Structure 1
């Protein structure tokens, strides 16, 4: 009789662990998902712990957990426990000497950061500033942590200070005190980090952050609480000056800050709606598909014309029906569409337009259907997606088809609803916004006043303002236009165009290079000028002599 294969059971249990870790936002989610993928593609049956260890990303701890689950499963279903998964595994010959068996493993010493060190300040900042456990960005942590550290959180290479207090976050992560998720990264305390931060706070005697020597109630009035703060608090002489400054720009009663009016929407007064751009809907049939599919997943969804992005989320006031745009936006691409946008330059322009929305969370969704049609552009596509994650700092997700995309949108909608649970929206009502830069600057000013002092607030623009200001006019930068112009030359791919643009940031500089710096050279010499400029490039960025001569023919000939 053949030994049973436990692979399906192990897949089911790791999948459950991956889902649970994803919901909690722990860093173990990535590990579980990788292990799940490798286990599904593992050839052959899983008959014993030794075979299970051969699966990449599955270590001793996971094997021990899965073995315990298997024993429990066998006991509950009155199945004989396989001898291969018995309580004690066979000892390897090299480990079977008495000295090794009796030697106790060395217990790892618990890491505790020194008082007023960078690690100490980061733990305290997260403990005090992230009450709702949603996570804080690097900038948010630094603003809260500064008063608790002796060393600056900003490096200064000019004075040979290459490391700042922020580098301590790596030690906290390696000791499982702090975790992170998403892009941009949101840092949070683990359970162990939460306990340690609470102990440090109580031991040192911290009652509240020094930045909050006064308590601002944005809905009613301003109260000064000089008795709050550190046991060794800074001089109280600065408090009246700070308080006077706040009253000078912020009138909470009239709800005016920095000369701009705003409203406050409590959480129970608005509902969240997912909007899909009508340009994503190519037919009435497809329109119904999106609406019906998302509706079956209990997602409230509408199709509208959007100035920027393919999908975004709004909050609609239940009584007034006014709408505001939330801080989440997606760009959706099929692989063939992505390849086309790289060819015609829309790829850079679209990402730039998304960035000018001033939102906090950018998602780039790529559907891999039709991959056979873009094989010749796979190198350019890989480069573009890599830049999307690293340079643009977008959250990139790849899907097999539109069904997986819809499931992700439904899941993200639920996450947004959970994150905003209990959050009050600060709805900006400026008289006018002249351009996209001013649109983002107003958001930043309000975020510095409200969100950096409390995680209970989210600053947002009216949806009508979003639609009016963020049009396409004037959105392409000189850099993007230059890259687009270079890509019209035969042989110049996206990677090569970007390489050339890094050396010559604007068209004027390339023209100056040919017609001013080297005006005395012959035609044959000018054709070879760029060869030396790019001779050290490798891989997809390497530019051949013929391609560089084509560039001369376009830009170097008078």
Structure 2
């Protein structure tokens, strides 16, 4: 049987017995799903993550038992159990497990049906169908309905899926039940395990599998039969425990936003807390949720401080920053930031609603300014271990247009460090001139707090009369959002900003990466390869495989060494040159260890 089927069987047995090894088997299954090549035995599976000696030994024992029962020449890549596994993958990833249903179906026909109905003990297994108004039920229906709409992308992001599925579920997708840590979103992992839902890309995209599409179609038909069609909109309800993240991810709708601005400019009076004259945010929650705008006077500029800046290390020094900000009267919030140390958000003002446990959560849009704070000792350490280069790379890709480096103690403090002061000064200059960051040099924590105070007040003044619109990371990556913003700013003063939830989720450090991104990181580890040079190489050879194929097609050794030398990079369109081209060739084409 296939490796994945064997692992699932072991996991299910451990789960029935209440053993903790079920989590070990589940991790092994997840690791196996990412491996695209066929495996001949358990020993070969040892190269995968979460496959130890014990698991590989079990696989080999079951493979040996299978050969004894069916002969050494029996194929192991086309057994009946593969029918119940994830399509397109189980036929290649194969090894052995004792056949449990061969006596009842020796020919192999009907294996799919038996796999679906019979468990390890021969008992009837019911097909998994989520109960009505549960998280799994709502997710399947929301994805199915999204796929049926014209122009559908076929997938949804996490925030989009939570928003669309919430009205179909009795529990919250973001706020856990009292006394537990589970939300309705926790059922998504079950849907993925049951092969009803597929998760890809980063940020995550969720789509239905063929099995999930069939089940969702059945649930939709039952829903229509019981309610007379889902097109009928239910009266709006107010969720007492609705989470902030769901509110922040409301998409930007240019047509509605333009109509809203036209209504205001044509004479409709505008007051703080009101979207259009006579309609308050609290009194009309549906309008507040659907719009992607925050009007002037309806938000506050708040400084966000990463919690690392207030905990750990020198507690006295870090508490001094907090005390200085409080002394200066700065409104700030301490939270976890996945990139940067300080940034500013425009937080929507909301009016408490009578009868609600807490005020409705307001939107939070991130301003285009983010600060990375560095002491000289920290700067020295980050240059030595490579964090300095990586942090600049992540700041450039975070989606905010104005990154700032705040450097403390740039004088005599560098005299006792392991890197010469001239080298540190050169690194700071390169950060501003070459990388395009704005660098602010201060002497101590007090001056850092003073700079943050001045920046906060300046941004409050800059944005006080601006209408803010929400833009998505996908639109920003395609370049469409920037063009829309530039056209609108000529008419009405406003800004297109990312929601804080989407920004912070997209800036996760250890998120899964594409092959192209990994190749870019590899190239940037080579001395002399900057981001511009790596990007220029990726335009011609997006993966290591394509580069190796190009080397293979070269006629001579000299042609291979000069393959990348004529590639142009940067604004000045300079050539990468023969030296770097030779270095990259030696790294990727040399079969043995480099001398």
TM over 0.5: no
TM-score (norm 2): 0.39
TM-score (norm 1): 0.42
